[in-house]
Amino acid sequence: MENSRIDRDDAQPVTERIKVDVCVIGAGSGGLSVASGAAQMGARTVLIEGGKMGGDCLNYGCVPSKALIAAANHAHSMRSGAPYGITPVEPQVDYAAAKDHVRRVIDAIAPHDSQERFEGLGVRVIRDWARFISPTEVQAGGTVVEARRFVIATGSSPLVPPIEGIGDVSYYTNETIFDLRERPEHLLIVGGGPIGMEMAQAHVRLGCKVTLVESGRVLPKDDPELAALVAERLKAEGVEIVERQQVERVSLEGDRITLQTGDGRFTGTHLLLAVGRRVNLDRLDLGRANVAYDKGVTVGADLRSTTNKRVYAVGDAAGGLMFTHVAGYHGGVVVRSILFGLPAKAKTDHIPWVSYTDPELAQVGLTEAQARERFGERLTVARADFGGNDRAVAEGATTGLVKVVIVGGRPVGASIVGKGAGDLIAMWAQAIANRQKMRAISDTVLPYPTMSEINKRAAGAYFSPKLFDNPWVKRVVGVVQRVLP
């Protein structure tokens, strides 16, 4: 290697050079999946991570947010027992103790993603930041790694919007909010996507006043009819939701933070930014590797760089859907290609996602609007309300709806809002992934009484008009009844 390749002010002296089959950069869900599979199937594997093992999901995202939501749900149940004959009481919320619960959950899961576990699987783990120094080499600390294949799995970080005055105030993102120990008196949230909505409801249930400002409509990627039910619930619980107003300026007035929009001013004690994500590529020196990138690494359907065939990208780094389960799915696609040389392509039409509000909001495939635009009159929409499900009635969870969009007898999308929507969407994700027809759902026998029967009721709603409103069916039945002995 020529010295000119690492002629940088921050270049560290090289103390070790190694050659491997697979070099994975980033120890989040996607990177860990690739490293684990590659090493256990005999490939010489290096995993490089400059931050925390487990990535964003374990340390700042999915795991801590769901743990905080669980604490908030316990507080909410104490206030909402009247319909069940339980006298409501106002809970005594210890916000710091709730954060202790969050930390315990992270600590309980962390060993699964730990350096020690992966070293036990045969992975060489380097704890430093990686950067390419040529199309075939990366340097991490004093180690230069030459690899046959590289997998970029660097994830993403919270986006800080260029709002006037943002640099003059203290603010939180999902990477820092879980370290806050003192309960906010009034939490301002900028951004009405899943993170913003989940944190708004969790904090109002933990006794905070909450104002959420969104430049468009909240939960914009989801079916608007279903997203509206979530927004209504949050408003009923006390969250002030301000839609279609852009935050133009942020200022500090004494110990209060003020958001200025085109139509108003909103003042609180703490500020959470939840306006989106940006892919972590800045440290990598991708130009030295001849790797093209924009919002993410420029890849084909096989997740391979279009300009350097040694390089793959998975998860957020691939510039598509930013979900932990997508990163894990991408990992499987890449392992198939790298280790076995088999053709493998990543798809998105079967990818589900969930906002873990109460009620939950889940989506897989196309929304109704997307399906109508693509398929027009060929589209059929089947619906089932939670109010028609006996288990939902028993639990007082009748606010909810399953909406399935169907073309040629096959579901191409499903939207669910209601209790346990994240679990209920699994049946539709499986059906879409395996190109099953609606009959696969309607023919399934489900235990009674369960929420899963709502999915079968939606399938029944698809078939009912074909059976009960069809004059030919009635004629056939009439003939059969006359001729049967």
Residues of each annotated binding site for NAD(+): 191-198, 214, 276
Burial of 426 (0-12, 13-18, 19+ CB in 10 A): middle
Burial of 32 (0-12, 13-18, 19+ CB in 10 A): buried
What is the chain's alpha carbon radius of gyration, rounded to the nearest angstrom? 26
The span from the CA of 140 to the CA of 244, in Å, is 45
CB 205 within 8 A of CB 72: yes
Q: What's the CA angle centered on 406, arms 400 and 411, to 5 degrees?
A: 80
Angstrom CA distances, 299 to 66, 76, 434, stand at: 32, 45, 25
Residue positions forming the annotated binding site for FAD: 66, 154-156, 316, 322-325
CB 96 within 8 A of CB 209: no
CB 50 within 8 A of CB 127: yes
Burial of 5 (0-12, 13-18, 19+ CB in 10 A): middle
Residue positions forming the annotated binding site: 66, 154-156, 191-198, 214, 276, 316, 322-325
Q: Which helix (H) or strand (E) holds 185?
A: none
Burial of 310 (0-12, 13-18, 19+ CB in 10 A): middle
CB 429 within 8 A of CB 441: no
